[in-house]
Structure 1
Amino acid sequence: MKARATETQRKTRIQKENEARILDAALESFSAHGFRGATIDQIADHAGMSKPNLLYYFRRKQDIYEALIARLLDTWLEPLRELNPAGDPLPELRSYIRRKLEMARDFPRESRLFANEILQGAPRIKRLLESDLKPLVDEKAEVLRGWMKAGQINSVDPRHLIFSIWSTTQHYADFDAQVQVVLGPDRGAEGRFEDAARYLETLFLDGLRPQVKPDSGPRVRSF
């Protein structure tokens, strides 16, 4: 859904700044109260704007929410977009795991907001998942499949590999309070993300690294 202020004219710098203010304020409200609990008045108050001024940019709460999720999803998918088909598979996947974990560290509210929407069945963003997320996952699944067929990584279901990376990295955003309690004060500080990165690299990369000898040829399983 486009912001209302952009429907008939090119956005000015002020309009861009105000839209960003509204979406930042909306993140605060939606992450704290959910879609149903958040109100236009709350968002306007957080943004430091009048309600009529906010409604110049977005007609409905639904429009603000969709724009926020679209922005979030675009950010969330950027590391996957950067997975380079011409690169060395294991370093490419290491970089992807690291970037996803950095996002869990740096954007915990966004992660929880997205997770809550998915847990509800994605009623307000299913169209975005179909138009933005699925084609990219399909494209990168083919990249992974190509690496597997070339014997560069072990053969697994590529989509489930992507799901597994999502779930393990995002855990450190969605369940960070639990992680810190379980790890305790000695290991639950900032270094927990580096510890998690080393563990996930071992988990995924050792599992994907081919173990066969070069002269025996890779064993390829089709998915």
Structure 2
Amino acid sequence: MTAPRSRIQRKNRETILDAALEVFSAHGFRGATLDQIAEVAGLSKPNLLYYFPSKEAIHSALLTGLLDTWLDPLRTMDPRGEPVAEILGYVRRKLDLARDYPRESRLFAGEIIQGAPRLAGVIETDLRALVEDKAAVLRAWMEEGRIARVDPVHLIFSIWALTQHYADFDAQVRLVLGPGHDPFAEAGGFLDTLFRRLLEPRPDP
């Protein structure tokens, strides 16, 4: 039986994970080193290795913790709700997630760009099942004539792309907009209009 961690051990573990998130999101998995993570954490490398045996172990712990946070906004889409409001609520939750967790978004993007070596199994099982479940909800709303007919899976993909862009390409967005702009506030209004128009039911030709 594993002994419970002490308060100091929990604090050091959290410090290491936060430092690793900073390093991985800035340098990617391949560019990050244990020395960099230890330096940002303010710990010696041997002390770091007491908590995590390898860079891979730290990265895996971060991704495991991140995945639930990343999937929660989609899980909360309610089949009993008003369709357009539920979808726009999902868009807003994803945009808020990109705003509040930009490092986590870049960490996830880096994993996917590498071919998802550590998350492929979860994506092929848990994420695929969740997307299929919500796609079925979207299809039911379309069959009822409550939203326009579009490909439901690609609708979900488009929401991911159009919200996470503001975290993953934050520097580009801010440089193009220039000073005096709030990218997330402006994006919220634009995406609301975009998806509302896309989803408005249209009569069959």
Check if 1:45 corresponds to 2:36. Answer: no
Contact 2:29 2:110 in 1 (8 A): no
Change (3 A) 1:138 1:13: farther
Q: Which residue of 2 aligns with 1:82?
A: 76
Corresponding residue number in structure 2 for 1:193: 184
Is 1:117–2:97 an aligned residue pair? no
Question: Are the aligned partners of 2:98 and 2:163 in contact in 1 as well (CA < 8 Å)?
Answer: yes
**Number of the residue aligned with 1:211:** 202
> Which position in structure 1 is the counterpart of 2:178?
184
TM-score (norm. length: structure 1): 0.83
Q: Is the 8 A contact 2:94 2:163 kept in 1?
A: yes
> How many angstroms apart in 2 are the aligned matches of 1:16 and 1:130?
32
Shift of 1:181: 2.4
In structure 2, C-alpha distance between the alignment counterparts of 1:41 and 1:128, rounded to whole Å? 29
Conserved in 1, the CA contact under 8 Å of 2:13 and 2:51?
Answer: yes
CA 1:72/1:156 → structure 2, altered by over 3 Å: closer, same or farther?
A: same
- 2:49 alignment partner, SS class: helix
CA drift of 1:182 comes to 2.2
Alignment-mate amino acid for residue 53 of structure 2: R
The match for 2:193 is: 202
* Aligned counterpart in structure 2 of residue 66 of structure 1, from 45, 53, 60: 60
Q: CA deviation at 1:211?
A: 3.1
Provide the aligned C-alpha RMSD in A: 2.0
Unaligned runs of 5+ in 2: none
Do the aligned partners of residues 35 and 90 (structure 1) sit closer, same or farther apart at CA in structure 2, a change above 3 Å counting? same
**Partners of 1:147 and 1:119 in 2: CA distance:** 33
Q: Give the aligned residue type for 1:93.
A: I
TM-score, reference length from structure 2: 0.89
The 1:176/1:142 distance shift into structure 2, 3 A limit, reads same
Q: Are residues 1:145 and 2:139 paired? A: yes
Q: Percent identity?
A: 61
**How far apart, CA to CA, are the structure 1 residues paired with 2:35 and 2:50?**
14
**1:33 alignment partner, one of 27, 32, 39:** 27
Offset of residue 131 of structure 1 = 3.5
**Counterpart secondary structure, 2:109:** helix
Question: Which stretch shifts more, 56-65 or 11-20?
Answer: 11-20
Of residues 167-176 and 42-51 in structure 1, the stretch that sits farther from structure 2 once superposed is: 42-51
* Offset from partner CA, 1:67-89 (integer Å, 9 cap, x none): 11122222111111111111111
Query: Which whole-Å deviations, capped at 9, do the CAs of 1:131-153 have from their partners, x for residues lacking one?
Result: 43222212211221221222211
How far apart, CA to CA, are the structure 2 residues paired with 1:177 and 1:206?
A: 29
Q: Does 1:98 align with 2:92?
A: yes
Structure-2 separation of matches of 1:149 and 1:92:
17
Unaligned stretches of 5+ residues in structure 1: 1-6, 213-218
